[in-house]
């Protein structure tokens, strides 16, 4: 069970993401850079209790209109081997000390727990409260018997493709769209909520599951 510490993080997650987001191929903002605000998300528990796992939604209010981005993050007490390309930055945690913060799509612990969520083996957890399931995050999945070779994690202009349950790939929707329809070929999804800048809530898919081609 992850324990949520209500303490300081220096620099903050939003400060780190302000520098990192414009380097991503799916970033939709302009050259002036993002103007970020936290908009929602959820957490998953690492069974070993060593890695923090957060699916964070941020609103970018630059450019005259808000864009909601989904950013999976992992927090570690030491660097992850062979993952320098996925490092968002380091920060000092008021209780835990130095933390290495990664794009979680490249972290095997997050991928394993995300797969367990899709398959219905674990519950999504509230982003801000210890040991509290998040009822706003829902999932569905139709298993396939097909086996397929393992794939890596790839960013493109639309989001991130990463490995899913056997025989599938996941499409992580980095840019979130309210009530977006699911692709007809999808065999599963994870859906959540996030806040608009005016305080009203949006609802839509965070990721979809696809048969491996």
Q: How far, in Å, are 87, 136, 159, 189 from residue 171 at the CA level?
A: 21, 20, 7, 9
Q: What is the pLDDT of residues 11-67, one digit of tens each?
A: 999 999 999 999 999 999 877 789 999 999 999 999 999 999 999 999 999 877 889
Q: Is the pLDDT of residue 1 over 60?
A: no
Candidate from 1-10, 49-58, 113-122, 178-187 with smallest mean pLDDT = 1-10
Provide the percentage of residues in the chain whose pLDDT is more than 70: 94
Q: Do the Cβ atoms of 204 and 176 come closer than 8 Å?
A: yes
| Span between the terminal Cα atoms of the chain, in Å | 36
Is the bond into 11 cis (omega within 30 degrees of 0)? yes
181 versus 150: the higher-pLDDT residue is 181
Give the pair of three-digit tokens for residue 62.
């630059």
d(CA 55, CA 66): 19
């Amino acid at each position: 069970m992850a324990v949520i510490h209500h303490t300081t993080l220096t620099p903050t997650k939003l400060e780190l993401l302000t520098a990192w987001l414009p380097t991503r191929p799916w970033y939709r903002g302009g050259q002036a850079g993002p103007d970020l605000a936290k908009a929602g998300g959820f957490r998953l528990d690492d069974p070993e209790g060593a890695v923090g796992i957060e699916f964070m939604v941020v609103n970018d209010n630059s450019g005259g209109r808000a864009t909601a981005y989904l950013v999976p993050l992992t927090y570690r007490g030491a660097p992850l081997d062979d993952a320098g390309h996925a490092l968002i930055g380091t920060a000092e945690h008021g209780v835990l000390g130095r933390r290495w913060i990664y794009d979680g799509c490249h972290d095997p612990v997050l991928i394993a727990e995300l797969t367990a969520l899709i398959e219905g083996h674990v519950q999504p957890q509230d982003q801000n409260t210890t040991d509290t399931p998040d009822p706003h995050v829902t999932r569905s999945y139709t298993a396939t018997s097909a086996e397929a070779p393992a794939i890596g994690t790839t960013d493109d202009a639309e989001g991130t493709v990463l490995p899913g349950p056997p025989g599938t790939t996941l499409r992580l929707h980095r840019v979130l769209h309210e009530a977006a329809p699911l692709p007809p070929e999808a065999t599963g999804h994870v859906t959540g909520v996030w806040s608009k800048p005016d305080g009203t809530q949006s609802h839509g898919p965070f990721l979809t599951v696809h048969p491996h081609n």
